[in-house]
Amino acid sequence: MAETPENPPGTASADSGRVLNQDEVDSLLGFDSEQGAADASGIYAIMDKSIMAYEKLPMVEVVFDRLVRQLSTSLRAFTSDNVDVSLDSMSSLRFDDYLNAIPLPALLVVFRAVEWENFGIVTVDSSLIYTMVDILLGGRRQPKPGRVESRPYTTIEQDLVRRMVDVVLADLSAAFEPLSPATFQFDRLETNPRFATIARPANAVLLVRLRVDIEERNGFIQIMLPHATLEPIRELLLQMFMGEKFGQDTVWEKHLGKELHHTMVDLHAVLNEKEITLGEVMRFRVGSTILLDCMLEDEIVLKCGDVPVTRGKLGRVGDHMAVSLSKPVAERQEEG
C-alpha cells in the first residue's frame, strides 16, 4: 500500500508561515533581559566580538593590581582610617553603554592623559562620596549614610571628591610608570554623564570597577579608559611581564652582537663618480680614457654597498694597493 506524504504537493507546511514571538526574537538577537552583559548571545554577541578582542591585554591586569595595592595605602593616609581597596571587575564595552550604566547620583571626574594626548573618566558613586564626607569632616560613623534627595552636591563635597580623585590619579600614574611614563591630570568635574562625553558612543572603552571598604561602609570607584587612550602603549600592554626587558632574550642578544663582530663585509674603494650619457657609454672601446674630476692627492671613499663608511688616501704597500684611513669608521661619511 502506498504511503501518503506528510505534505502533499501544493500544500504549504503548517510551520512555514509561523511568526516568531517577542521572546524568540529577543533570544535570537541576544537581548534577553534576564542575561547580563557578560552572557550576551546571538547577533548582539557577534556584533560585539570586536570589543572582546581588546580584553586580551595581559599587562592591564598587572597595572591595576599594582594600583589596588598602592591605593589602599594612599587612602589610609588620606582618611586616617582603615581602608581596603579591591578589584571588583574589569570589562570592555561601548562608551554609550557605559554612560547609560552609571548609577546616579554620582560625580564624574574627567582627567587628561598628558603623554597620550587623550582623556579618561573616574566615577565616584554617592555612597562613597557621603562616606568620605563623614570621615573627613568628622561626621557620625553610621553604617549607611543616606543621601538627601533633590539636593545637588555642595561645593565642599565636590572639593573633597576632587582631592580623593587626585590621590587616585597619582597612584594610577605610578602604576603605569614601570610600563610607560604617564601623567594623569584633573580636567573637569561633572554631575551629568552627558556632559562628560569624551568619545563617540560606539567606541570601545575599558571599565575598571574598584570596591572601597571603610569599616562597615563601602562604595565604588569606576575608572574608564577609552581604547583610543591606550592605543599609544597597546604594544606594551600586550607584553606578558612587567620590567625593563619585557621578556626579551638577553642571551640571544649577546650572541647576536658577538657574531656580528665576526661578520665578513665587502668594502669598495671609490676613486670618483661621474655621470655620463648612455651614448658615450656605447662609444667605449678598448683603450678609451675616462677623465675623472679628481687629483692624485684627493681622498677616496670606502663604501659598504651604498653606505659610505670612511675616507682615506690611496697608496701602495709592496705589490698591493692600500688605503690609509683619514677618518674614524664610527663617523658616518657623506658621499662626494
Give me the residue spans of the domains in the chain: 56-237, 264-325
3-state SS, the chain, equals CCCCCCCCCCCCCCCCCCCCCHHHHHHHHCCCCCCCHHHCCHHHHHHCHHHHHHHCCHHHHHHHHHHHHHHHHHHHHHHCCCEEEEEEEEEEEEHHHHHHCCCCCEEEEEEEECCCCEEEEEEEEHHHHHHHHHHHCCCCCCCCCCCCCCCCCCHHHHHHHHHHHHHHHHHHHHHHCCCCCCCEEEEEEECCHHHHCCCCCCCEEEEEEEEEEECCEEEEEEEEEEHHHHHHHHHHHCCCCCCCCCCCCHHHHHHHHHHHCCCCCCCEEECCCCCCCHHHHHCCCCCCCCCCCCCCCCCEEEEECCEEEEEEEEEEECCEEEEEECCCCCCCCCCC
For residue 302, pLDDT over 90 is answered with no
Answer with the residue of higher pLDDT: 56 or 217. 217
For residue 97, pLDDT over 50 is answered with yes
Q: Could you name the CATH architecture of 56-237?
A: 3-Layer(aba) Sandwich (3.40)
pLDDT at 330: 61
With bands split at pLDDT 50, 70 and 90, how would you rate the model's confidence at 249? low
For residue 277, pLDDT over 80 is answered with yes
pLDDT at 122: 92
Answer with the residue of higher pLDDT: 330 or 50. 330
pLDDT tens for each residue of 73-93: 999 988 888 888 999 888 888
pLDDT at 37: 44
Tell me what the mean pLDDT of segment 87-116 comes to. Answer: 87
Does this model's pTM top 0.85? My answer is no
Q: Could you name the CATH architecture of 264-325?
A: Roll (2.30)
Same fold, 56-237 and 264-325: no
pLDDT tens for each residue of 120-151: 999 998 888 888 888 888 766 665 555 545 56
